[in-house]
């Protein structure tokens, strides 16, 4: 059973990966996608998208500081270009390659990428198999897809194409591209795929609580899950799910994070970003504000401060306001 941190552009970046894996429960992270056209990227591009390839101190390459492996995700439609970039990423130290066949963004789909490829299972097969051949056997190649583009008619064909191409597992977001992110997630549509394939199927979509995990598991027949937005709303969601399914004794059980603990992690998040001299100051305050906004459904304190917080442009002032919210409670 694996719990994987989903790649979400502008959300689960290297800083969020550090924080969420420090909290615990995750077995694997996947980077935000690197968009491949017909170019073999220079090393600096990989390092910018995937900072864990240049580890600090005793950190293992392609791992967070907590020791959780990080796979590079590639998005593109040219098998040769995808293979060449995958091979270079593996040579730079990436411990795994994930392929994106699920992004629903219009700009991506108009350029023959992401979920648009779900209309062509044979093309998915050629991309996966080209990447599989290009990287060492020791490097896992995995893929993420949706149930389909406009409907679910090709779900099984696409999943089989990924398996036949040589992927170690497939993650399926339980909605079509047309569904976007609108609830519900059709977990039950994953069950026949999970029963048919010889590789593991990881379920993704609408898992916001341990109860959701159990319901997803029951309907999808998938033990493993990928968490995205749910982990931003409830940062210890992976840990709580793990505790819920493992034989944890009462004295080992960790209670859900309180607001004070969440703020301490947000301060670490701020410190990590501030320590990067290459990161522009204007990036930091919006990232803090965005995470606080995501926390609002779980923590009333986040909702209490957000009206003031969203008006602040200076990152230090934003962090001070977040810290002050602890003193009021």
Is residue 280 in some structural domain?
yes
CATH code of residue 103: 3.20.20.70
Asked if residue 25 lies in contact with residue 248, where contact means CB atoms within 8 angstroms, the answer is no
- Residue 185: predicted pLDDT: 97
- Residue 173: predicted pLDDT: 98
Could you tell me the residue range of the domain that residue 67 belongs to?
Answer: 3-245
> In terms of Cα–Cα distance, which of 295, 223, 206, 256 is closest to 24?
256
- How is residue 121 written in tokens? 């299972």
Note if 29 is an active site residue: no
Q: Give the DSSP letter of residue 202.
A: E
Q: Average pLDDT across each block of 10 residues of the chain; the chain has 329 residues. List them in order.
A: 94 96 97 95 95 88 97 97 98 98 89 93 98 98 97 98 98 97 97 98 97 98 97 97 80 85 98 90 93 97 95 95 84
pLDDT tens figures, 249-265: 666 778 899 999 999 99
- Residue 197: predicted pLDDT: 98
- Residue 250: predicted pLDDT: 65
Asked if residue 63 lies in contact with residue 53, where contact means CB atoms within 8 angstroms, the answer is no
Full-model pTM: 0.95
Compute CA 173 distance to the chain's CA centroid, rounded to the nearest angstrom. Answer: 12
Q: Which of 29, 103, 216, 222 is catalytic?
A: 103
Last residue in a domain, options 223, 245, 267: 245
Cα–Cα distance measured from residue 146 to residue 137, given in angstroms and rounded to the nearest whole number: 26
Whether 83 and 184 share a structural domain: yes
CATH code of residue 274: 1.20.225
Is residue 186 in some structural domain?
yes
Cα–Cα distance measured from residue 160 to residue 175, given in angstroms and rounded to the nearest whole number: 18
Torsion of CA 52, 55, 56, 58, to 10 degrees: 120
Last residue in a domain, options 211, 245, 279: 245
Cα–Cα distance measured from residue 194 to residue 172, given in angstroms and rounded to the nearest whole number: 10
- Residue 329: predicted pLDDT: 53
Last residue in a domain, options 219, 245, 271: 245
- Residue 55: predicted pLDDT: 82
Number of domains comprising the chain: 2
Whether 86 and 138 share a structural domain: yes
- Residue 58: predicted pLDDT: 81
Whether 199 and 77 share a structural domain: yes
- Residue 6: predicted pLDDT: 97
Is residue 7 in some structural domain?
yes
Whether 102 and 184 share a structural domain: yes
Element of type H or E holding 35: strand 34-35
């Amino acid at each position: 059973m694996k719990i994987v941190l989903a790649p979400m552009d502008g959300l689960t970046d290297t800083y969020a990966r550090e924080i969420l894996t420090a909290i615990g429960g995750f077995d694997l992270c996947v980077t935000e996608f690197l968009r491949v056209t017909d170019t073999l990227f220079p090393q600096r591009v990989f390092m910018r998208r995937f900072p864990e390839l240049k580890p600090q101190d005793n950190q293992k390459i392609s791992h967070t500081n907590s020791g959780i492996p990080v796979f590079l995700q590639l998005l593109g439609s040219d098998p040769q270009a995808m293979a060449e970039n995958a091979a270079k990423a593996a040579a730079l130290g990436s411990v795994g390659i994930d392929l994106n066949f699920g992004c629903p963004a219009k700009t991506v789909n108009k350029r023959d990428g992401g979920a648009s490829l779900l209309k062509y299972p044979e093309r998915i097969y050629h991309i996966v198999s080209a990447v599989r051949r290009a990287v060492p056997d020791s490097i896992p190649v995995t893929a993420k897809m949706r149930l389909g583009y406009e409907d679910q008619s090709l779900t099984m064909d696409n999943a089989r194409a990924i398996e036949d191409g040589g992927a170690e597992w497939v993650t399926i977001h339980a909605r079509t591209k047309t569904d976007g992110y609108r609830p519900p997630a059709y977990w039950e549509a994953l069950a026949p795929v999970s029963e048919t394939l010889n590789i593991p199927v990881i379920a993704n979509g609408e898992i916001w609580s341990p109860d959701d995990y159990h319901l997803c598991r029951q309907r999808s027949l998938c033990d493993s899950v990928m968490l995205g937005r749910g982990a931003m709303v409830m940062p210890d969601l992976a840990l709580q799910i793990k505790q819920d399914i493992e034989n944890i004794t009462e004295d080992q059980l960790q209670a859900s994070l309180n607001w004070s603990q969440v703020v301490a992690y947000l301060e670490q998040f701020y410190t990590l970003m501030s320590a990067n001299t290459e990161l522009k100051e204007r990036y930091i305050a919006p990232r803090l504000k965005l995470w606080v906004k995501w926390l609002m459904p779980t923590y009333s304190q986040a909702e209490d401060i957000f009206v003031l917080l969203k008006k602040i442009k200076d990152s230090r002032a934003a962090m001070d306001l977040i810290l002050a919210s602890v003193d009021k409670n």
